[in-house]
Amino acid sequence: MAKVKLGDVAREYKGTIKGNHTLPAVGLEHFTPGELVLEHWDVNADNTFTKGFRKGQVLFGRRRAYLKKAAVAPFDGVCSGDIIVIEADPEKINPKLLPFIIQNDVLFDYAVGHSAGSLSPRVKWEDLREFEFELPELDKQDELVELLRASLKTKKAYQRLVKAADDLVKSQFIEMFGDPVTNTQNREVKPFGFFMENIRYGTSQPPNFSEDGAFMFIRATNIKSGRIVDEGMLRISSDEASKIEKCKLQGGEIIIVRSGANTGDTCVIEEKYAGNYAGYDIIIKPNPRTADPVFFNELLNTHYMQQVIKPLTVRSAQPHINTQQVQAMPMLCVPIEDQKKFREFVEQSDKSKFVGENFKFKINNLAGRNQNVY
């Protein structure tokens, strides 16, 4: 086992692609934070990218490294200038091991600490290449790769379990209340604003983050599949929190992502997040006499999301939605008692998902421990 620097075993790839081409294009918006393999990209889309990459290389989002955007390229393509393309030196490191080293909290923390810039901090390869870690001999690395790949495979299996539970909830919603888009049960329909006690925006300026801050700061990247995920959660100090009191959460609110690649994604502020703070997004306080937050969150995450919400977000630049659009969205009128019955079903489903999430957490820890002994 020897201590090496990233630049000892890998290098920045600086290939360029010029002229007309049909290669897939990758921007920062295509990464899923924490995912090892790239799953999204553009095909035949207009862009000015000239930085090339090859299949198997690692793409690292150098802007706002705390977002943890790094993934293996599954094809040849072009990418944004805000992406560092990293390739392994196969004589010094197994190329299949390099992605696990890079998609690692320790490296991301290092990248954040070496980023420069106040509004949009970026890290350079010249700094990233100095990251140190322990690496076994080349002939020992295959075994480590197999262990990490098995961990990843198990993690994916539990992700499928969680998705199946989510699909069951969506199916149950349709069975109980009909299609929320076509209103198959001919229910009364009212604008979403009727069901709200209030609606507001979060902060327009990001606070200063601190690793040991007293409060969680929930951003768009923490909202996935109708839920809050703690992975990548940032924290703020009491002093920073005092500057954004309007963003303080009491519990029971619904958050809707306001702009960016995840525009329209939603979540409910569960009790464990009460007293913490929300970011730039739209914060809704439902009227407890007419609206259960869990019911409306699940309604928003049926195919209503794709049919009604997503078309509202289309803009010439990046996706965006505002409070006026949200308040005007048509919603089914369901008695509050029936909403609460559905909430009970959701909570039972969440208990099953918790088991899967708990196993996934253990798998992540296993992979993390192995990554730290390179």
Give mean pLDDT in consecutive 10-residue pieces for the chain, a chain of 374 residues: 91 90 91 86 85 96 90 95 95 93 90 85 94 90 85 77 84 94 95 97 88 92 87 91 93 93 90 94 96 96 90 77 96 97 90 56 43 42
Residue 164 counted as domain residue: no
- Of 97, 117, 135, the residue that ends a domain is 135
- Contact between 175 and 254 under an 8 Å Cβ cutoff? The reply is no
Domain assignment present for residue 371? The answer is: no
Tell me if 179 is assigned to some domain.
no
The CATH number linked to 68 is 3.90.220.20
For residue 229, the model assigns a pLDDT of 87
User: Is 253 found in the same domain as 196?
Assistant: yes
Q: What are the residues whose beta carbons fall under 8 Å from the beta carbon of 18, sequence distance 6 or more?
A: 50
163 assigned to some structural domain: no
Question: Do the Cβ atoms of 320 and 309 come closer than 8 Å?
Answer: no
Q: Are residues 190 and 329 in the same domain?
A: yes
In a domain, 271, yes or no: yes
Of the three residues 135, 160, 192, the one that is the final residue of a domain is 135
Domain match, 210 and 94 both:
no
Q: State the total domains in the chain.
A: 2
Q: Are residues 104 and 235 in the same domain?
A: no
Do 119 and 189 fall into the same domain?
no
Q: 7 and 129: one domain?
A: yes
- The Cα–Cα gap between 68 and 42 comes to 20
Structural domain span for residue 192:
184-334
Output b/e per residue, 337-373; b: 16+ Cβ within 10 A. eebeebbebbeebbeebeebbeebeebbebbeeebee
- What's the whole-model pTM score? 0.63
